[in-house]
């Protein structure tokens, strides 16, 4: 049984920039969080908040124009920032795996499913092709794919979206990684398949003891998966805490607004409320609180001074002037 009090991943003061017109533009600013063993931490926020970039930085897979400006990323206490490409290749798919948003584009159309599940086993575990293929069939069975022997010889286009996502999970878990990064893993799937995939991920986490960094914009999905939640807005973490803290007692107006856009069985409404405006691009970010132009509670202070995180309890903090003055 894994000890959920032991940190697997420690991210401290991580900032990421993009090169634009010979300038470095800050896109993710001063992100810190800890992922413990066997735990699920959800990064939540709208598109453009920096969730996926933060995850890609874990694997040193930022786009060519992206750069880690400062901060630390430690896996079991070992620093990943500045690690050589060769050393990172030994970690990707082995210690840290990622499920990408679009399984059809993430899977290689010219290789069979079995070959793609077997590949990380050959690369990282030094298995023979025969042993890796046998293990691939076992992994396909573990993720609930019927007739795994036949499916192992199929190509991606021969599988449904839900099946392709299960294949992606099988590939990601083949080497039994310490951390699984799931980037919007159910966005392209219908609701019934979504539920099946989330249940599958939870069951496999229990089986393998994997820590999960779960990226989503949907609190409905997050509520089924997360132990801890960090809410991101415009490149910053603006609230973090346990799932109970965030889902039951949100303190930041953005978190509350996001929760209000999530459909609930126990509440009947004609139309779900929308958050006015949009997430600002890095070049458009205002002084002070980045959410202030969209916030009903914003004061003049919010427009001029960036709020610092306020500790609300041992596990719960929020960066909002209203919380600080409360």
Q: What is the pLDDT of residue 161?
A: 86
Angle at 216 between CA 34 and CA 154, to 5 degrees: 110
In-domain check, residue 268: no
- Tens of pLDDT, residues 25-52: 999 999 999 999 999 999 999 999 999 9
pTM (predicted TM-score): 0.91
Domain boundary among 159, 176, 193: 176
- Tens of pLDDT, residues 208-266: 889 999 999 989 899 999 999 999 999 999 999 999 999 999 999 999 999 998 766 55
My answer on whether 191 and 283 are in the same domain is: yes
Helices H / strands E in the chain, number of each: 13, 12
My answer on whether 30 and 149 are in the same domain is: no
In-domain check, residue 1: no
My answer on whether 158 and 196 are in the same domain is: no
- Tens of pLDDT, residues 123-140: 999 999 999 999 999 999
Among the listed ranges 1-15, 50-64, 292-306, which one has the minimum average pLDDT value? 1-15
Backbone angles phi, psi at 213, to 5 degrees: -100, 110
My answer on whether 41 and 186 are in the same domain is: yes
For range 10-38, the mean pLDDT: 93
As a whole number of angstroms, the distance between CA 83 and CA 91 comes to 11
As a whole number of angstroms, the distance between CA 153 and CA 177 comes to 25
Domain boundary among 141, 176, 211: 176
My answer on whether 124 and 241 are in the same domain is: no
For range 189-200, the mean pLDDT: 84
- The structure tokens listed for 204 are 């496999």
As a whole number of angstroms, the distance between CA 61 and CA 266 comes to 42
Domain boundary among 155, 176, 197: 176
* Domain extent at residue 79: 7-95+177-263+273-325
Q: What is the pLDDT of residue 1?
A: 41
My answer on whether 159 and 54 are in the same domain is: no
- The structure tokens listed for 182 are 């799931």
């Amino acid at each position: 049984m894994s000890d959920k009090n032991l940190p697997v991943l420690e991210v401290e003061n991580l900032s990421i920039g993009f090169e634009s017109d010979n300038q470095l533009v800050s896109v993710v600013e001063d992100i810190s969080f800890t992922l413990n063993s066997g735990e699920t931490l959800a990064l939540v926020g709208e598109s453009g908040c920096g969730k996926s970039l933060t995850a890609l930085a874990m694997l040193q897979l930022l786009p060519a124009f992206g750069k880690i400006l400062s901060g630390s990323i430690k896996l079991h206490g070992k620093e990943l920032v500045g690690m050589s490409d060769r050393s990172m290749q030994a970690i990707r798919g082995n210690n840290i795996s990622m499920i990408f948003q679009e399984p059809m584009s993430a899977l290689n159309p010219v290789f069979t499913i079995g070959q793609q599940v077997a590949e990380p086993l050959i690369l990282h575990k030094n298995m023979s092709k025969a042993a890796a293929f046998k293990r691939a069939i076992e992994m396909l069975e573990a993720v609930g794919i019927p007739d795994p022997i036949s499916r192992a010889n199929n190509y991606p286009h021969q599988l449904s979206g839900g099946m392709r996502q299960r294949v992606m999970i099988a590939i990601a878990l083949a080497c039994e990684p310490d951390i699984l990064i799931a980037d919007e893993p159910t966005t392209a799937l219908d609701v019934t398949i979504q539920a099946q995939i989330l249940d599958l991920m939870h069951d496999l986490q229990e089986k393998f003891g994997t820590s999960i960094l779960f990226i989503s914009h949907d609190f409905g999905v997050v509520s089924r998966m997360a132990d801890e939640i960090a809410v991101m807005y415009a490149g910053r973490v603006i609230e973090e805490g346990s799932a109970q803290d965030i889902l039951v007692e949100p303190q930041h107006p953005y978190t509350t607004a996001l929760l209000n856009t999530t459909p609930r069985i126990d509440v009947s409404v004609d139309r779900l409320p929308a958050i006015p405006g949009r997430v600002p691009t890095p070049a458009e970010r205002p002084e002070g609180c980045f959410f202030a132009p969209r916030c009903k509670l914003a004061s003049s202070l919010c427009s001029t001074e960036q709020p610092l995180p306020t500790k609300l309890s041992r596990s719960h903090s929020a960066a909002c002037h209203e919380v600080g003055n409360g």
